[in-house]
Structure 1
Amino acid sequence: MCEIFAKQPQENYQFITRSIRIDGHATSVKLESSFWLILEEIASAQEMTVPKFISTVYQEALEHNGEVNNFASLLRCACLTYARQPQETMAQALSELH
């Protein structure tokens, strides 16, 4: 039963750290490579670069919550939300952009 999960290539869950700018400040984000692929897909669907998308998510979370305690976890959860319902999630995201 778990072979589909356990026997996936190690590259899928290898950590990748990327340097990005959020609100003019340089920072780094460390996520598994599979999450970076999903973020690239989401950003592309919104006609954004990954750094721009990440910065937008950060700003929106900051406005909504007043602080962002665990940003890497927020990004992982954003990827899971997208993976569960990609069409509905993107339709809502695009409508909020316009």
Structure 2
Amino acid sequence: MCRMFAGQDPERYELETRSMRLNGQSTSIRLEKSFWRILDEIAANEDVTTPAFVSKLHGEVLELHGEPKNFTSLLRCTCLVWQDAQNAPQTDQIAAE
């Protein structure tokens, strides 16, 4: 079983740092390339740039919960939540049939 995970392309978990502005402050965010690809996809789906999406998410989290203790963890979990939503059965479509 572990070979499936251990044998993955190392580029998937290679770290990538991107610079952007959050609430007017310049910052750098370091995530695995796999997570950046998902965030890029989410942003494209929202018709915004990835920095704009990340900044908007940060602002909304500040409003709801205050400053997150670990924003990069929040970004990773955002990717998982989005993928879960993409994989969930479309109950509206099923009900319409």
Q: Please classify the TM superposition score into its range, dividing by the shorter chain length.
A: 0.7 to 0.9
| Aligned position for 2:83 | 83
> Partner letter of residue 69 of structure 1?
K
Size of the aligned set, in residue pairs, is 88
Query: Secondary structure in 1 aligned to 2:8?
Result: coil
* Identical-residue share of aligned pairs (%): 48
Long gaps (5+) in structure 1 = 89-98
Query: RMSD of aligned C-alpha atoms?
Result: 1.2
Tell me the equivalent position of 2:60: 60
The superposition leaves residues 11-61 of structure 1 with CA deviations (integer Å, 9 ceiling, x where unpaired) of: 000010100011211000000000000000000000010000000110010
Letter in 2 for 1:64: L
Q: Give the aligned residue type for 1:46.
A: E
Report the TM-score, using the length of structure 1 for normalisation: 0.85
| 3-state DSSP of counterpart to 1:20 | strand
Residues 51 and 25 of structure 1, relative CA distance in 2, 3 Å threshold: same
Counterpart CA distance in 2 for 1:21 and 1:12 is 25
Larger CA deviation: 52-61 vs 1-10: 1-10
Which residue does 1:16 correspond to in 2? 16
Superposed, which structure 2 residues align to 1:37-76 within 5 Å? 37-76=37-76
- Equivalent-residue separation in structure 1 for 2:74 and 2:59 (angstroms): 12
| Equivalent residue letter for 1:17 | T
Q: Counterpart of 2:67 in 1: which secondary structure?
A: coil
| TM-score, structure 2 as length reference | 0.85
Highest CA radius of gyration, 1 or 2? 2
1:87, CA displacement in angstroms?
A: 6.6
